[in-house]
A and B are shown apart, each in its own frame.
Chain A
């Protein structure tokens, strides 16, 4: 799993690739922690390179969404692969997180 975060004022661009699983999710959580704790209110996450997520990975996206909602901000996930999208669909996450 690789994650890159670019922050500019209250906006952040995130690119995640590889597998978001039990082993790698802590690293992802560490990378997005400043976005949750800080002033960031707009997040765009490029998910085109993400080819797997477990429930732990979903949890990270939920925490980000909760944080943005509580700050009156927004989050959008882009380029999601179909098989990963199915995991978001099954768990109802597609309804609470904006995916384009």
Chain B
């Protein structure tokens, strides 16, 4: 399923709900929990930071490829590779921990693969998670 959202400002919750109701989503509650979390983190990043001047669009696509669900997010905002974000140091104390950088880190840990490319003026962020066991 391919859904296009424009404008996206203040639409984070709506985008997440529509994406989570895609027919490609698995039924398993544990998987849905992980997928929702990663979708929220990725969509929230785009809605908050992609279009710092004005508003723009976001395209979300869900596909089943082999045993995996693939979620692709495209936007035409500022080029930004979330995979370049350094991982938080999870060994620090509460006093030393900075409240940030957790979203993409959760995606890295919960999804099986993450990919980013900047192509034709668009950020393309792709996440996949295995939804079927052999």
Which positions in A face B, CB cutoff 8 Å? 21-23, 52, 54-56, 58-59, 62-63, 65-66, 69-70, 83, 87, 90-92, 95-97
Contacts and interface: CB of A to CB of B under 8 A. Distances in A.
Contacts, number: 62
Majority SS of interface residues in chain A? helix
Secondary structure at the B interface, as helix, strand, loop or mixed, is: helix
A55 B109 CA distance: 13
Interface in B46-99: 88, 90-95, 97, 99
Contacts of B91: 92, 95
Interface residues of B, number: 26
B103 A91 contact: no
Contact of A87 (B37, B44, B99): B37
Most buried by A among B40, B95, B105: B40
Given A21-B40, A83-B33, A69 B102 contact: no
A56 B90 CA distance: 16
B41 interface: yes
B88 A91 contact: yes
B55 to A, nearest CB: 17
B94 A62 contact: yes
Given A52-B36, A83-B30, A69 B99 contact: no
A70 B99 CA distance: 16
Interface string B2-30: 00000000001100100000000000001
